[in-house]
Structure 1
Amino acid sequence: MNPQVSTPPKSRIAYIGLGLMGLPMSRHLVSLGWDVHGYDVRSEQMDLASAAGVQVHSTPTEAVHGCALVVLNLPTTEAVEAVVFGTHGLIKTMRQPQCIVDFSTISVESGQAFSAKLLAQTGCGWVDAPVSGGPSAAGTGTLTVMAGARADDLPRIQALMRDVAARFTVLGPPGSGLVAKMLNQLMVGCLHAAVTELVVLAEAAGIEADLVPSALAGGHADGVLLQQIYPRMRARDFAPLGYARQLLKDLDMVLAYAKSLQVPTPMASQAQTLYRMLTRLGHAELDTSALLRLYEPGHDRFAPPDLTDVKPIKGDTP
């Protein structure tokens, strides 16, 4: 963060999307003294947020009224577009100096277009600020945030970023943060596949497989995903800290973006195929570490999948 940029005090903030990431982050912000007004399409998430001190509202527009910052944490590009530009979208009521901070992972092209459209029609800023770190980091203010923003919008978001991020990097104009998130998800997808094969091979070898993360710690193969995901795979703990369907959605966007730049990505393509197989087997709502299920006895895991009868998911790569 740039120490020369003045930061406004904590203020009233709207939080749209109180799910796997949004709920712990909004709870954390409340604990730090932010006046958080929230909305989610699921009533059970609204109840949990309310119990944590979030002022919940019946519509996004109600939540946004009077808020300096409008935070989005939504699952898809389509959801972001509907909330901001739909029939009852926020664009109809937002006015300067309000500013959107979008923590969602959406396509680069859409993020750039949304930012330009909001600015042209309302004068409001839009910061794309996708995150990495998972629900635990969201709940402790230790996320890695990669951002794209206009210089004029940076002073408005500094106080928020100081409270939610251990690392906050502005990579350029709107859309730049989403490019960085595509790079992040390319690595995440490929590393999940590599760690899965590591677990399977270690178990088959008959060694003390639980000791592998310690044995590799500090070496070139070490990393956050090895230390976090390997033990979960060994325990067959697939309770979602990040949904398999979401990583597939992200890999679809990675491949589409790479294709637009004519960049070959064979390893990411393989990871995409594995996650598409996993979701087709009915595991879309499990954790991303559930990729191990493809290698478990009982699955025809190496038979070429017949995808001819599978309808494309909206947003899939053509």
Structure 2
Amino acid sequence: MTSSNNTPVVGLVGLGAMGAGMAQSLRRAGHAPHVFDVRREAAEAFAREGGTACATLAELGAQCDIVVSVVVNAAQTESVLFGDGTTPGCAASMKPGSVFVMCSTVDPNWSVALEARLEKLGILYIDAPISGGAAKAASGQMTMMTAARPAAYEKAGAVLDAMAAKVYRLGDKAGAGSKVKIINQLLAGVHIAVAAEAMALGLREGVDPAALYEVITHSAGNSWMFENRMAHVLAGDYTPLSAVDIFVKDLGLVLDVARASKFPLPLSSTAHQMFMQASTAGYAREDDSAVIKIFPGIEVPGQKKEA
């Protein structure tokens, strides 16, 4: 269902921290997105300012030329496409020649298999993991790491550009986008873990945490993750923009990919264990900077030391 001015009708599934911002970017670019979220009120709130809230995934699939999926993992993506056993997904109602854009962090081999599965249904596929955080998603400044067949880019390239400042085209079939995202997550997870370790040592040694933050963010030891996540620690605010369990999952994927080719990842393994420890200690749904709470004998800002 292409609109009268030849603009494709775009649907977006998943109005979480990233998806909500991406839907806003689409609206700013002149689209009137059809949206679906398991929280019906989230879809309706978005639609009040422009767009359409769909009651079901099947309804969204039937009305859209391009469907963008922004959910947590491969299992949720499967549900978006093929249903959960009780309600159908969007794949059965999508028209032949329409495009499915997959923005989750997944095993690259799963992404390759999904492309083949959708091809049998006449649906084009873009392997398109995303990075940059909620603020960059909302401003259209995030990054997309994509791989797809030329026909998929031809139909959906302008839509990708509407959502992201950088759309990297990394291959002419699925897999390369997810591989690059896995490597990005290796770095992101290790950087958060080591940033927490550094701040924890500073607290243990009695260094003023605000002064430490100021010095490091203007010195060679800085990283984007230190600057961003340790600001959360200083504020004592662990509202989950990206939760601890996201890196339990993502670093697990990193290690699975490397294990298949017997490639050693010692730092990734250690960081994964740190996030696992934080998760089992009760911080699973807190911001990923809460990994600092696993260190003993320190009192982080805003949290009293346990007796």
Return the TM-score normalized by structure 2. 0.88
Q: Alignment length, in residue pairs?
A: 291
| Matching residue of 2:290 | 290
Letter in 1 for 2:215: A
**Mapped partners of 1:228, 1:196: distance in 2:** 11
Q: Summarize deviations over 1:184-234 as a string: whole Å, max 9, x none.
A: 111111111100011112223334432334433465422211211122112
Contact 1:27 1:52 in 2 (8 A): no
| Residue 46 of structure 1: how far off its partner (Å) | 2.3
Change in 2 beyond 3 A, CA 1:47/1:93: closer
Contact 2:59 2:90 in 1 (8 A): no
**Mapped partners of 1:272, 1:116: distance in 2:** 31
| Matching residue of 1:225 | 225
Are residue 131 (structure 1) and residue 130 (structure 2) matched?
A: yes
> 3-state DSSP class of the match of 1:122?
coil
| Residue 275 of structure 1: how far off its partner (Å) | 1.1
| Matching residue of 1:209 | 209
Are residue 238 (structure 1) and residue 235 (structure 2) matched?
A: no
| Residue 13 of structure 1: how far off its partner (Å) | 0.5
| Matching residue of 2:305 | none
Q: Summarize deviations over 1:162-195 as a string: whole Å, max 9, x none.
A: 2211211111121111001110111111111100
> 3-state DSSP class of the match of 1:89?
coil
| Residue 298 of structure 1: how far off its partner (Å) | 8.5
> 3-state DSSP class of the match of 2:143?
strand
Contact 1:100 1:127 in 2 (8 A): yes
**Mapped partners of 1:152, 1:22: distance in 2:** 24
Computed over aligned residues only, the root mean square deviation of the Cα atoms, in angstroms, reads 2.0
Are residue 85 (structure 1) and residue 82 (structure 2) matched?
A: yes
| Matching residue of 2:114 | 114
Q: Summarize deviations over 1:68-122 as a string: whole Å, max 9, x none.
A: 2110011121111122133523232222321011111122111110111101x22
Are residue 256 (structure 1) and residue 256 (structure 2) matched?
A: yes
| Matching residue of 1:72 | 69
> 3-state DSSP class of the match of 2:101?
strand
| Matching residue of 1:169 | 168
Q: Gapped runs of 5+ residues in structure 2?
A: 300-307
Contact 2:191 2:223 in 1 (8 A): no
Contact 2:59 2:93 in 1 (8 A): no
| Matching residue of 1:25 | 22
Change in 2 beyond 3 A, CA 1:237/1:84: same
Contact 2:61 2:67 in 1 (8 A): yes
| Matching residue of 1:56 | 53
Contact 1:131 1:144 in 2 (8 A): yes
Q: Gapped runs of 5+ residues in structure 1?
A: 1-7, 300-318
